[in-house]
Amino acid sequence: MSEEKRVLVTGAAGYIGSGVCRKLLSEGFSVIGMDSLMYGATGLLPLLVMPRFEFVRLDIRDHSQFQQQLDRIRPFAVVHLAAIVGDPACKKMPEAARQTNLDATKALFGVALENKTSRFIFASTCSNYGLSDSMALLSEDNALNPLSLYAETKVEAERWLIDNSATLETYILRFGTAHGLSARMRFDLTVNEFAQAIAMGSPFDVYDSETWRPYCHVNDFSDLICHICADKKIRAGVNVFNVGSDEENYRKIDLINTIAQATSRTARFTDIGRGADRRNYRVSFAKVAAELRFKPRYGVAYSARQISEALGLDLFPFHGGRYANV
Ligand SMILES: NC(=O)c1ccc[n+]([C@@H]2O[C@H](COP(=O)([O-])OP(=O)(O)OC[C@H]3O[C@@H](n4cnc5c(N)ncnc54)[C@H](O)[C@@H]3O)[C@@H](O)[C@H]2O)c1
């Protein structure tokens, strides 16, 4: 396998990372996955049985360790997904959140630059838009308005990458909220949480039911990252993209109705009015569609049916925090 085809993925055991590695492997890349395994290693199971996959357990905050690894691996591309993800996890571990999401991102990018890595792909989030007064679709040029430590770390990391990316082809991907099945399952994500409750017939609370956000399937993120790694076209400097589709902006109340309808179930929820999370924004995905020809294949209804089927097969037998980040 030539060096051009070697991709390093941080956060490889995570909800999104495990699928990204699988997709890259299936498209012929050699993949070196890195992760500290904060949430266990179940995400690695489908990967360890595949050829051309290597796993390195490390904490990306350990600069000298990942420098050694990058010197050895010399990847064509770095896909940087490792992070303390979500508002609750960052609130619980503020120091680790700053060190991982911001400091380690800068250091990792610096080492990639020294190593002459060709592409650096950074997972950011549409949460960076925070709260929008108007219901117009927000583009990559709109102002960011982070409302949590999680979004603050992502916005700061983005700004730093923008200031330092002159010589490394860099992609900042602002993902919508992910959903769908993954080998490292998360039921603390809105679609998955609602789909689980509706499938199980369990009552659940909904706050700020009229607020908007964009959603996107995990497999679609994998497809896009793989497309960027494989693309012959070079886009020098920094490239910022919202990742999702215009049609998949939903109010929470619409999500619930879509999930219930897709699975022919009744949603037993209580609308509890205003919550602490003030995020409310609708996002435009015109740029990623036009420049990277990205058209997501799986919507919320598809995920709802997938999750309902998986729960029916008792694929997630553990309770408590096993399938969440806090
Ligand atoms: N899930 C979403 O809805 C969503 C939305 C927007 C952006 N993102 C971004 O996508 C990326 C992946 O998110 P996810 O949902 O897969 O989260 P996740 O929590 O499932 O995965 C993150 C992985 O990073 C690893 N990790 C954390 N700190 C580490 C460290 N110091 N060293 C090495 N590994 C470490 C964890 O062990 C975990 O496996 C993150 O950067 C996140 O900010 C996710």
* Spatial distance between the Cα atoms of 72 and 322, rounded to a whole number of angstroms: 34
Atom index in ligand 1 nearest the CA of residue 122 equals: 41
293 domain-assigned: no
Per-residue model confidence as pLDDT tens digits over 18-76: 999 999 999 999 999 999 999 999 999 999 999 999 999 999 999 999 999 999 999 99
Q: For residue 80, is pLDDT > 50? A: yes
238 domain-assigned: yes
Cβ–Cβ < 8 Å for 66, 111? yes
Which pLDDT value is given to residue 260?
98
Same domain, 196 and 86: no
* Spatial distance between the Cα atoms of 79 and 36, rounded to a whole number of angstroms: 16
Mean local confidence (pLDDT), 272-301: 92
291 domain-assigned: no
The residue segments making up the domain with residue 270 are 190-214+248-282+298-323
Which pLDDT value is given to residue 4?
58
- Among the listed ranges 52-56, 227-231, 316-320, which one has the minimum average pLDDT value? 316-320
Q: What is the DSSP letter of 30?
A: E
CATH number of the domain at 69, please.
Answer: 3.40.50.720
Atom index in ligand 1 nearest the CA of residue 96 equals: 31
* Spatial distance between the Cα atoms of 22 and 183, rounded to a whole number of angstroms: 10
Mean local confidence (pLDDT), 89-103: 98
What's the CA-to-centroid distance between 46 and ligand 1, angstroms?
Answer: 18
- Among the listed ranges 202-211, 227-236, 272-281, which one has the minimum average pLDDT value? 272-281
Helix ranges (H only) for the chain are 17-26, 45-48, 63-73, 87-92, 94-98, 104-114, 149-164, 190-200, 218-230, 252-262, 286-292, 300-312
Q: Number of helices (H) and strands (E), helices first, in the chain?
A: 12, 12
Same domain, 205 and 222: no
Total tally of structural domains belonging to the chain = 2
Q: Using CA positions, which residue lies closest to atom 12 of ligand 1?
A: 81
What's the CA-to-centroid distance between 36 and ligand 1, angstroms?
Answer: 11
Same domain, 77 and 202: no
Q: State the Rg of the chain over Cα.
A: 19
What SS3 class is residue 116? coil
Which residues is 32 bridged to in the sheet? 8, 54
Which pLDDT value is given to residue 1?
45
